[in-house]
Amino acid sequence: MPSWLRFRVPLPPKAAVDAVHISAAALNGIEFLVTWNCKHIANPALRMRIESVCREMNCEPPVICTPQELLEINDAY
């Protein structure tokens, strides 16, 4: 799945490890992927593509967010 994610989003070759992190979270049913990596993982412009590709692979994507966004999500509840 990492290579599929990398080419379908698309992510640059240097983001291969980022694709592994996203894939590992999706394949293992992790609910949240919290990261400060806003260049490739928590990038708002890429999130919808990442979610779409995960679903194409029959995986539910994790909620990708920064620690600050997670705190805001928790404050909403």
pLDDT tens track for 13-49: 899 999 999 999 999 999 999 999 999 899 999 999 9
Q: Could you give the CA distance from residue 52 to residue 73 in angstroms, rounded to a whole number?
A: 22
Whole-model pTM: value is: 0.83
Question: Given the structure tokens 């593509």, which residue do they identify?
Answer: 49
| CA nearest to 40, candidates 62, 13, 60 | 13
- In this predicted structure, the answer to whether residue 75 has a pLDDT above a threshold of 80 is no
With cut-offs at 50, 70 and 90, classify the pLDDT of residue 76: low
Ordered by start, the domain boundaries in the chain are 2-76
Residue 74's pLDDT is what? 65
